[in-house]
């Protein structure tokens, strides 16, 4: 997985003095570090109800109002894991909290620094292995410590969800462009191997071992050969080339669910240039701006 880390990292202290499972909390810890550890542990386990205990009242309400996939996205981003995991608490040689979130894909390690508490506010520096340093801000509310910021950025759940959604859209669009290039390369390879263009994308798909043929050329994944991958649909057609007797081809990519899996549509013209624009889910054309 690519960890989209807005947290941070310092050199790792290797001494672990204690390994204990993190128990469910009720949000009324008197120590801000304990509250932060409990919040991150809940995120690691994917426990939405428990995580909500460590949000301010306004953010808790906004969190409950998010769609299920966005609530889970908040937890994944905080836990730095795409899958639910098992949190383990320990201490370093300065008696500061160390939290490890162990998931099937790997382990994220959070190393707490010394808390700075000022009346009803607390700030805790956190280092993440192979990441960047950040500081969590907490506020005392309703008898417990609640998350209010990541670094200098206030923890605004609605705004964060918008930013993350935009980031996801951009990543899907980039993947669609990459898939178009892969298809273009595969089609050219097919033409060199078999002396013609494929009739359909399906002919580029996987073949049984040692049975590569014009109908199963083993040049792209099953998903791309089926014309759908990463929230985009892909289309292919044979077209006339620049010369009268030349055959060429065009490719197109459209978001499966406009606004959710992507905004821009893309088009590869007969010269290999990629064009793209927000077409509200319709096909892009050679008249749209080129993409480097």
**Average confidence (pLDDT) over 105-127:** 93
Task: Tell me how far the alpha carbon of residue 149 is from its chain's centroid.
Answer: 21
Question: Which 3 state secondary structure label does DSSP give 239?
Answer: strand
**Average confidence (pLDDT) over 279-287:** 96
Confidence grade of residue 129 (pLDDT, cut at 50, 70, 90): confident
Residues 133, 127: Cα–Cα separation, whole Å: 5
Q: What is the pLDDT of residue 6?
A: 36
Domain chopping of the chain, boundaries? 20-155, 168-291
> Which of 227 and 4 is assigned the larger pLDDT?
227
pLDDT tens track for 241-279: 666 667 899 999 999 999 989 999 999 999 999 999 999
CATH code of the domain made up of 20-155: 3.10.450
Q: What is the pLDDT of residue 206?
A: 96
Q: What is the pLDDT of residue 19?
A: 32
- CB distance 38 to 22 below 8 Å: yes
> Which of 37 and 155 is assigned the larger pLDDT?
37
DSSP per residue, 103-149: ETTEEEEEEE---EEETTEEEEEEEETTSB-EEEEEEEETTEEEEEE
Confidence grade of residue 69 (pLDDT, cut at 50, 70, 90): confident
How much is the pTM?
A: 0.60
- CB distance 239 to 250 below 8 Å: yes
> Based on C-alpha coordinates, what's the Rg of the chain?
25
**Average confidence (pLDDT) over 172-196:** 96
Q: How far is CA 187 from CA 167, 179, 197, 243, in A?
A: 30, 12, 7, 19
């Amino acid at each position: 997985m690519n960890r989209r880390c807005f947290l941070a990292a310092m050199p790792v202290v290797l001494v672990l003095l204690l390994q204990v499972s993190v128990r469910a909390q009720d949000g009324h810890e008197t120590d801000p570090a304990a509250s932060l550890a409990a919040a991150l542990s809940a995120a690691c386990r994917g426990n939405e109800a428990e995580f909500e205990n460590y949000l301010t009242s306004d953010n808790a309400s906004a969190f409950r109002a998010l769609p299920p996939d966005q609530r889970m996205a908040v937890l994944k981003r905080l836990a730095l894991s795409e899958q639910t995991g098992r949190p383990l608490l320990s201490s370093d040689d300065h008696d500061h909290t160390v939290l490890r979130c162990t998931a099937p894909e790997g382990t994220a390690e959070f190393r707490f620094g010394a808390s700075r508490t000022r009346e009803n506010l607390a700030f805790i520096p956190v280092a993440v292995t192979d990441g960047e340093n950040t500081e969590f801000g907490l506020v005392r509310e309703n008898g417990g410590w609640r998350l209010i910021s990541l670094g200098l950025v206030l923890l605004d759940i609605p705004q964060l969800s918008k930013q993350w959604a935009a980031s996801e859209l951009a990543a899907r669009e980039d993947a669609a462009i990459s898939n178009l290039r892969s298809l273009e390369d595969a089609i050219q390879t097919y033409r060199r191997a078999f002396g013609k263009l494929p009739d359909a994308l399906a002919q580029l798909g996987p073949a049984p071992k040692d049975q590569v043929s014009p109908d199963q050329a083993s040049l792209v994944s099953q998903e791309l050969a089926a014309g759908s991958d990463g929230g985009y649909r892909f289309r292919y057609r044979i077209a006339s080339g620049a010369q009268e007797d030349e055959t060429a081809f065009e490719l197109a990519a459209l978001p499966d669910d406009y606004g959710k899996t992507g905004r821009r549509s893309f088009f590869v013209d007969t010269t290999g240039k990629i064009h793209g624009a927000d077409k509200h889910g319709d096909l892009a054309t050679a008249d749209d701006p080129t993409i480097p």
